[in-house]
């Protein structure tokens, strides 16, 4: 199991936070059923 600390971001814009969330989900494959639990965005092997 790999655990990595990710920096904390603050923003007044919910849109900006949502966009960054999907970037990190894809980067760390949190939407891959073997790695994480996110169902969105759809995992592409």
Q: Is the pLDDT of residue 12 over 70?
A: yes
Average pLDDT over residues 5-31: 85
How many angstroms from the chain centroid is the CA of residue 18?
10
Where is 15: in which H helix or E strand?
helix 14-27
Alpha-carbon distance 4 to 18, whole Å? 21
Q: Is the pLDDT of residue 9 over 80?
A: no
Question: Helix, strand, or coil here: 19?
Answer: helix
Q: Is the pLDDT of residue 5 over 80?
A: no
pLDDT, tens only, 23-41: 988 998 989 999 888 888 8
């Amino acid at each position: 199991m790999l655990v990595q600390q990710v920096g904390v971001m603050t923003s007044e814009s919910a849109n900006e936070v949502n966009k960054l969330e999907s970037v990190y989900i894809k980067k760390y494959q949190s939407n891959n059923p073997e790695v994480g639990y996110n169902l969105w965005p759809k995992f592409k092997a």
